[in-house]
Structure 1
Amino acid sequence: MEWKLRPARDLGLAAGDRWRSLKRERGLVGMAVHGAWRALLRLYFRLAHRLVVQGRENLPPPPFVLVANHSSHLDALVLAAMLRGEAARSAHALAAGEVFFGSRAGAAFAAYAINAFPIWRGRTKRGDLATLRERLVEDRLVYILFPEGTRSRDGQMGPFQAGLSSIVSGTGVPVVPCWIEGAHAAWPPQRRWPRPGRLSVRIGPALPSEDRAALTEACRAAVQRLSGAG
């Protein structure tokens, strides 16, 4: 094997800029903090929510993209907590920048603990999408993405937005549909803090990402089927 050394993508960025950058790479501190956070999350979900995961065998090796219904701040956390091995270490939630990265403290937490990448509503440029696509493939990452774009206020799944296809179509990276059950009841948008309650995740077979025109609706249909409602 021929080794090609390259400088870190985030070389030279100040701490605050690095936390908010799509070029952020894992350092020793980040890996340690994220590992500790994952362990705490798994304990929390086991004790407070009796988390059950079905279909884990449908998860391919990285890179891949997880998509799911979105009705709670627990959603990204539970999908990250269910991953194992290299997939867990490579997972990045694509999170609303104005919500999670608006303050310095929030940006540090989102970057180190959640390992999130910011997506800024109305400010995402074509170059940002290109960076996400490049990193997904070259760095063999896992993206956690909610195509509805925002949390459902009533627990019902809304339409999927086309941003998903802009990131993955043509990359050959599979998209894995998931259905999260119980997160809205445990922590709906109207509540400040979560409450105990059973959670489950159903993982479906991976979908190919080549057909950009059909990908968004194919993903929504696959997630809907996992809900048992269609």
Structure 2
Amino acid sequence: MARLIAFFTRRGARLLTGTRSLWIGCQPVPKQRIYYANHNSHIDFILLWSSLPTIMRRKTKPVAASDYWLKDGFRQFLIKDTFNGITIQRNRDDHTDPLQPVKDALEQGYSIIFFPEGTRNLNDDIELLPFKSGLYNLHKQFPDIEIVPVWISNLRRVMPKGAFIPLPLLSTVCFGCPLEQHLDMDKAIFIDYAQKQLLKLKEVENQ
């Protein structure tokens, strides 16, 4: 049942949004990766996940906020059973590592879909919210896993705040080049580098 719902959700989301996938910096091959993207809507991980070939989707887990996706039984069924996702607490408890479920998935060989802004960017005048430290921490602990930037365009207009059904509009999911390994970078420099590599994809997509 969960796979059937995932199939129709994936097909429906791509049909309604007219999503096209651009692999300009890497190839869609079954390789363990951390895909990090801009975050504008609750359906952005669905579009990114659905842009992956089937063999890659089966080994890729989206990371989502537990305060939204565990709010009721239906959302919990979608994120856990349909999309095989990981939920994390955004309000950090000093005694726990909110990224531990993500690290566990990476240690098990899964790829992940990660949103380093930490929350949705609902401001049309800001391209990206400041990145949290999560992506940097994952890079330090898993230096051999490719980190691939992914720019998702038009999602703010596809799924406006408060909307239940996506509006028909062309959306693009653009996959860039994996980040170069920079284990000697401090956190601030790495975050700035990761943000710039992501924003480059917006420039490419608009050309």
Indicate whether the TM-score tops 0.5: yes
What whole-Å deviation, never above 9, does each CA across 1:173-226 have from its counterpart, x for those lacking one?
111101111111110224343211111111101114552624322221111000
Equivalent of 1:225, from 175, 200, 206? 200
The equivalent residue for 1:43 is: 11
Identity of matched residues, %:
22
Alignment partners' CA distance in 2, 1:151 and 1:158: 8
Alignment partners' CA distance in 2, 1:41 and 1:66: 20
Give the AA of the match of 1:37.
I
On the 8 A contact 2:90/2:98 being kept in 1, the answer is: no
1:65 and 2:34 matched: yes
Bigger shift: 139-148 or 200-209?
200-209
> How large is the Cα RMSD of the aligned pairs?
2.4
Higher relative contact order (Cα pairs below 8 Å, separated by 6+ residues): 2
Aligned length: 197
SS of corresponding position for 1:92: strand
Gap regions ≥5 residues in structure 1? 1-31
- TM-score normalised according to structure 2 size: 0.83
Give the AA of the match of 2:77.
A
Alignment partners' CA distance in 2, 1:48 and 1:73: 15
Give the AA of the match of 1:216.
I
On the 8 A contact 1:173/1:209 being kept in 2, the answer is: no
Alignment partners' CA distance in 1, 2:150 and 2:174: 6
On the 8 A contact 1:62/1:140 being kept in 2, the answer is: no
Alignment partners' CA distance in 2, 1:67 and 1:119: 16
The equivalent residue for 1:146 is: 115
SS of corresponding position for 1:178: strand
Bigger shift: 167-176 or 178-187?
167-176
Alignment partners' CA distance in 1, 2:193 and 2:96: 24
Alignment partners' CA distance in 2, 1:54 and 1:153: 24
What whole-Å deviation, never above 9, does each CA across 1:141-182 have from its counterpart, x for those lacking one?
111111111111124321111111222323111111011111
- TM-score normalised according to structure 1 size: 0.75
The equivalent residue for 1:197 is: 169
Larger Rg: 1
Alignment partners' CA distance in 2, 1:62 and 1:140: 9
Alignment partners' CA distance in 2, 1:129 and 1:183: 26
Gap regions ≥5 residues in structure 2? none
